[in-house]
Structure 1
Amino acid sequence: MKNNAAIGIFDSGVGGSSIWQEIHKLLPFENTIYLADSKNAPYGHKSKEEITALSVKNVERLISLGCKIIVVACNTATTNAISQLRATYSIPIIGIEPAIKPAALKTTSKSIGILATKGTLSSLLFHKTAMEHTKDIKMLEIVGEGLVPLIEKGNLEGPEMVNLLQKYVTPMIEADIDYLVLGCSHYPYLIPLLRKMLPPHIQIIDSGEAVARHTQYTLASIDLLRKETSPPKLQFFTNNTTEALEFLLQDYSEEISVEKKDF
């Protein structure tokens, strides 16, 4: 029965599991299959063509596993490949992009910060979104060089992470931002550390909750929400070591299965 088919989710590694958590919180009975393409992380330095080819590979894998909808839980893959994915496949495809619009609408200092990968910040979709919503607003874009590899290793608060993140947030604080937009699905795992570094008036925005709501809305609109309330099957596949995923999802260890597979 198609309603029981899984929600398919992929990312350039383990970071999109932050999106999975929001989806699972909102839709606790849905079966899910998550692909962590950690072998190819980060996508942020790759060309548009490489990012698109990897995204196609991941989508085809999820379709072959019988998924009913696909969530691209990667800002870089969304901003570079979503148009082609939607043009190629008939399955509903949900994307994720930096939450520039809410930050631009809410800012009172008229200064917002964006922390994202090079691949996201240099994409056409990012620039189109930014131009639409940030007139008369100063937008400080910082490439989070080196953050994704550390998160992939489960290093969320070590000295190397602290020093790197401090270097990126200092110019934002100096620019008097009042909203920090996280433009990579790995970065929500840094929120506890960011809260220690940022003045309390700076709000942090990520896209996870909005993606979960959009997924719910899309499934409801085509009558594909799972009707059963039996425990769901929550599968995670990585083409690298399983430790980082297991560490980030330790609160769900009783419910999920994490396997290493080649894909």
Structure 2
Amino acid sequence: MHQPIAVFDAGIGSYAIVAEIHKRLPEQDILYFADRASFPYGSKGKEELLAIMRRTLRFLESYTPSAIVVASNAPSIMVLDDIRQHSLVPLFGVFPPIEEALAMSANGKIGIMGVRSLIESVALKQFIAHRATQPDNIVLINASPMVERVENGSFLFEPEATQTAVDSFIDGLFRQHPDIDVLTLSSTHLPWLRSFFETARPDCRFLDPAESVVAGLGDGTRGTAQIQGLVTESSTYDVGALQRMLQQFGVDIPLEAVTLP
């Protein structure tokens, strides 16, 4: 691979970013790293996330990437500024599209759906305070149960059960916050459930920040259009399960099981 763009998350969530890069930069080599052994990032505190990010950067830098995309909202918000000083290449993160959501909202009431550690973090509250004149109008929603349905593949292989779970989640959310009319999908796993969310609440807008993230990467580096997958495994999440999920999407890329030093 020639100066690939490396994209990583704790699982399948980041493949949506990979697909968008491949679409926009078809000659770019891409290194897709699914760190399933660390899933979920959303259950981890700042210090544990920092350790994971530093270890991951050292590993990915051995492939001489031209850029690294931290394709997860939680570490992007919570630790990206801290890890920039440890990176030898440009780092890009994924962030809740608050300004875009507020611009779309008819009443200024929006929600940010993300994993628990992000939703409960001081860093997210600070992020919101710098981007919204009325931060109290922004509801923070723990969507970790929905993220789990993506990583375990049930959204693909049990669509009816997934729709039932999404319906219940969304119904509970709107009973508490009936005025919300825009929700951000602020975990890279959540866009895989977008059609389920839209079925559950067709009058609400759901925002995926993937396109804006990829636009920020610029023109990339001409390579051979390869996509190489690297995967860490756990007893719950193995390479074979990820391969089956990708094949369900019609994606057939090589996946290599790796262990981070």
- Please tell me the TM-score bracket, short chain as reference: 0.7 to 0.9
Q: CA deviation at 1:165?
A: 2.3
TM-score normalized with structure 1 length: 0.87
2:180 is the alignment partner of 1:177: yes
Which secondary structure does the structure 2 equivalent of 1:133 belong to? coil
Residues 120 and 9 of structure 1, relative CA distance in 2, 3 Å threshold: same
Q: CA deviation at 1:69?
A: 0.7
Kindly provide the CA deviation profile for residues 7-34 of structure 1, in whole angstroms up to 9, marking residues without a partner as x: 0111011111111111111111110111
Q: What is the distance in 2 between the residues matched to 1:131 and 1:17?
A: 30
Q: CA deviation at 1:190?
A: 0.4
Q: CA deviation at 1:59?
A: 1.0
Which secondary structure does the structure 1 equivalent of 2:27 belong to? coil
Query: Identity percentage over the alignment?
Result: 26
Equivalence for 1:138: 137
Q: CA deviation at 1:247?
A: 3.8
Q: CA deviation at 1:81?
A: 1.6
Deviates more, 1:140-149 or 1:80-89: 140-149
Runs of at least 5 residues in structure 2 that lack an aligned partner in the other structure? none
1:227 to 219, 222, 226: 222
| Partner amino acid, structure 2, of 1:260 | A
Equivalence for 1:71: 69
Which secondary structure does the structure 2 equivalent of 1:176 belong to? coil
Runs of at least 5 residues in structure 1 that lack an aligned partner in the other structure? none
Report if the CA contact (8 A) 1:11-1:36 is conserved: yes
Report if the CA contact (8 A) 1:140-1:172 is conserved: no
| Partner amino acid, structure 2, of 1:9 | V
- What is the alpha-carbon root mean square deviation over aligned residues? 2.0
Which secondary structure does the structure 2 equivalent of 1:204 belong to? strand
Q: CA deviation at 1:179?
A: 0.8
Which secondary structure does the structure 2 equivalent of 1:141 belong to? strand
| Partner amino acid, structure 1, of 2:79 | A
Instruction: Report matched runs for 1:10-25 at 5 Å.
Output: 10-25=8-23
Equivalence for 2:52: 54
Q: What is the distance in 2 between the residues matched to 1:145 and 1:10?
A: 18
Report if the CA contact (8 A) 1:6-1:31 is conserved: yes
Which secondary structure does the structure 1 equivalent of 2:183 belong to? strand
| Partner amino acid, structure 2, of 1:154 | G
2:250 is the alignment partner of 1:257: no
Q: CA deviation at 1:158?
A: 4.2
Instruction: Report matched runs for 1:12-161 at 5 Å.
Output: 12-136=10-134, 138-156=137-155, 157-158=158-159, 160-161=161-162
Which secondary structure does the structure 1 equivalent of 2:129 belong to? helix
Q: CA deviation at 1:146?
A: 2.2
Which secondary structure does the structure 2 equivalent of 1:29 belong to? coil
Which secondary structure does the structure 2 equivalent of 1:249 belong to? helix
| Partner amino acid, structure 2, of 1:257 | P
Q: CA deviation at 1:252?
A: 5.1
Equivalence for 1:9: 7
TM-score normalized with structure 2 length: 0.88
Equivalence for 1:213: 215
Equivalence for 1:194: 197
